[in-house]
């Protein structure tokens, strides 16, 4: 039996990193039957896939993203992709959201800490990272009328479809119901914003045109779902994973406390060490060879970002978390034309979260009685992050 035929979804969900290490060594381009994808696991090959859209297109068929959201920014290439990105990207520039850390994110983070600060214990996933990401996203998108729990439920259910590579009909049913609910909920808001624009991302998506052409209702709805999933997942998981990383290395945490300039490299190293997003899914546009394997035209390929970020060929002692690592940039937010459009906002949220928590909670540490469980291979994060402080 081939290596790929022995790998199950449950194994990947539990801990994909030993599997990726084996694949990098034995089968760097390997078809994994359980998910129906060729997993590409070495740094150079992952970079090549992500940076060659003419050969490895994001406009796949079938597409878990397009199937769940409708045709969208991530599930498209060429002129369509460029048009959508040119409408959405300007809202994420420093000039548009540069004040967010102080004017939006920090006040929300402080309000959340106010709720548990005197208690001495908290779950930083459910009580901090998730509500912080949800409240920031609600304000950014213009969905302040949507309840936090509803927004987070949409995320979970839409992400279930986005990661449904195995084509499980029950998972897709859940995702499709959430997709329809989002459409129904935002349709009247989109109509209103067409008449009365504001400064939110949703308004920008509705009212910006390129060469006299605006996004259609379906395009706005599809890309709004991308923003919901990406906005909640990237920020929540980066906050949770990075806090777990530094708190599980107390000696490095002490260095960060003494030198706040280490906050940024500590967060970036956490993103490399445990990548919040696992893969970039692509499809070959013609027959090609990669890693000594011939891929037929139409082959579905997953460039495994998480594996590239642990590749021994590119990193020294890659399984070690080291805030002093200086070996170049990671691929946690992908690369090429599909570089994550919301990466800047996710970084803003994470840096601000660290600043508020470290300032306000002295001696912040993991709760030794509450072990951390981390799962997921496409979207990987701690289920809970129980902490204590004096």
- CATH number, position 270: 1.10.630.10
Check if the beta carbon of residue 30 is closer than 8 Å to that of residue 4.
yes
* Residue whose C-alpha is closest to residue 132's, from 100, 164, 158: 100
Between strands 121-123 and 29-32, the pairing is unpaired
Rounded to 5°, angle at Cα 255 from 251 and 256 = 115
Q: Which residues contact 246 (CB under 8 A, 6 or more apart)?
A: 252, 253, 256, 266, 270, 323
CA distance 178 to 176: 5
Instruction: Give the number of other CB atoms < 10 A from CB of residue 22.
Output: 14
Mean per-residue pLDDT pooled into runs of 10, the chain (390 residues): 89 96 98 96 98 96 91 91 91 92 98 97 97 95 93 94 90 96 95 94 92 91 94 94 98 97 98 95 97 97 98 98 96 95 95 98 96 93 96
Q: HEC string of 223-259?
A: HHHHHHHHHHHHHHHHHHHHHHHHHCCHHHHHHHHHC
CB atoms < 10 A from the CB of 133, how many? Answer: 31
The pTM is what?
0.93
Cis, peptide link before residue 62, omega less than 30° from 0 = yes
Specify the pLDDT at position 1.
Answer: 61
How far apart CA 356 and CA 372 sit, in angstroms, is 22
User: Could you tell me the two tokens for 154?
Assistant: 């949409």
Give the pLDDT score at 136: 96
Provide the pLDDT for residue 318. Answer: 98
**Are residues 231 and 342 in contact, defined by beta-carbon separation less than 8 angstroms?**
yes
Burial of 110 (0-12, 13-18, 19+ CB in 10 A): middle
Residue from 229, 220, 188 nearest 87 by CA: 220
For residue 357, what are the domain limits? 4-388
Q: Which residues does 334 contact at the CB level (< 8 Å), separation at least 6? A: 50, 277, 280, 305, 340
pLDDT tens digits for range 256-281:
999 999 999 999 999 999 999 999 99
Distance CA 365, CA 389 (A): 6
Whole-angstrom distance, CA of residue 197 vs CA of residue 45 = 44
Look up residue 277 and give its DSSP letter.
B
Dihedral Cα 49, 58, 16, 372, nearest 10 deg: 130
Number of structural domains in the chain:
1
């Amino acid at each position: 039996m081939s290596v790929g035929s022995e790998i199950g979804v449950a194994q990947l969900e539990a801990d994909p990193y030993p599997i990726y290490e084996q694949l990098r060594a034995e089968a760097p381009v390997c078809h994994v039957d359980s998910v129906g994808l060729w997993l590409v696991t070495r740094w150079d090959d992952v970079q090549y896939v992500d940076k060659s859209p003419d050969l490895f297109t994001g406009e796949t068929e079938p597409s878990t993203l397009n199937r769940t959201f409708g045709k969208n920014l991530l599930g498209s290439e060429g002129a369509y992709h460029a048009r959508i990105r040119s409408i959405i990207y300007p809202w994420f520039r420093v000039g548009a959201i540069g004040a967010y850390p102080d004017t939006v994110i920090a006040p929300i983070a402080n309000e959340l800490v106010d709720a548990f600060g005197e208690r001495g214990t908290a779950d930083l996933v459910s009580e901090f990272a998730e509500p912080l990401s949800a409240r920031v996203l609600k304000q950014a998108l213009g969905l302040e009328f949507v309840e936090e729990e509803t927004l987070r439920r949409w995320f979970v259910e839409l992400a279930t479809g986005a990661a449904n590579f195995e084509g499980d009909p029950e998972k897709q049913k859940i995702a499709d119901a959430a997709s329809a609910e989002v459409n129904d909920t935002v349709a009247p808001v989109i109509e209103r914003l067409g008449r009365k624009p504001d400064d939110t991302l949703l308004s920008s998506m509705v009212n910006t045109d390129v060469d006299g052409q605006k996004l259609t209702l379906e395009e706005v709805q599809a890309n709004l779902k991308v923003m919901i999933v990406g906005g909640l997942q990237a920020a929540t998981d980066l906050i949770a994973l990075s806090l777990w990383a530094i708190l599980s290395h107390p000696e490095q945490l002490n260095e960060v406390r003494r030198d706040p300039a280490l906050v940024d490299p500590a967060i970036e190293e956490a993103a490399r060490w445990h990548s919040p997003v696992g893969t970039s899914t692509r499809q070959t546009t013609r027959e090609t060879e990669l890693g000594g394997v011939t891929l037929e035209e139409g082959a579905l390929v997953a460039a495994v970002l998480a594996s590239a970020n642990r590749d021994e060929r590119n990193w020294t002692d890659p399984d070690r978390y080291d805030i002093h690592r200086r070996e170049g940039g990671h691929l946690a937010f992908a690369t090429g034309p599909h570089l994550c459009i919301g990466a800047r906002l996710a970084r803003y949220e994470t840096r601000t979260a660290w600043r508020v928590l470290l300032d306000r909670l002295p001696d912040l540490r993991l709760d030794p009685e509450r072990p951390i469980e981390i799962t997921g291979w496409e979207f990987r994060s701690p289920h809970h992050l129980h902490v204590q402080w004096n």
